[in-house]
Amino acid sequence: ETGVTQSPTHLIKTRGQQVTLRCSSQSGHNTVSWYQQALGQGPQFIFQYYREEENGRGNFPPRFSGLQFPNYSSELNVNALELDDSALYLCASSLADRGDTQYFGPGTRLTVL
């Protein structure tokens, strides 16, 4: 096990609603990245947080936002949900100054109806 945890495991929402997903990084890891994985696709990078600051962002609209807390846990917030937001959301933690291997949590499967 990687020590990265995510909650909830599954979630069902309707279009237009808002959702918050949570991630606890592996002990000592100060960097958290979030990914969206649609069925049959590879994970797509959403953004990365390093020491509570957004460190980089992929091609996702502003309704995808995040936070990182002093204990390095993180949240992903998605506003105005759309049907295409249905996916597996993965977070990955890493230690920025110890190489760049990322370790993934089990993911949150979001279904938007």
Partner 1 sequence: RKEVEQDPGPFNVPEGATVAFNCTYSNSASQSFFWYRQDCRKEPKLLMSVYSSGNEDGRFTAQLNRASQYISLLIRDSKLSDSATYLCVVRSGTYKYIFGTGTRLKVLA
Q: Residue 106 region, left (φ>0) first, then alpha (ψ -120 to 50), else beta?
A: alpha
CB atoms within 10 A of CB 46: 22
42 forms part of the interface with partner 1 (CB under 8 A): yes
The continuous run of DSSP H or E covering 31 comes out as strand 31-37
The minimum distance between CB 73 and partner 1, in angstroms, equals 17
The minimum distance between CB 80 and partner 1, in angstroms, equals 26
Phi, psi of 110, deg, nearest 5: -105, 130
111 forms part of the interface with partner 1 (CB under 8 A): no
Nearer to partner 1, 81 or 89 (CB): 89
Interface residues toward partner 1, by CB under 8 A? 2, 33, 35, 40-45, 48, 50, 55-56, 58, 88, 90, 100-107, 109
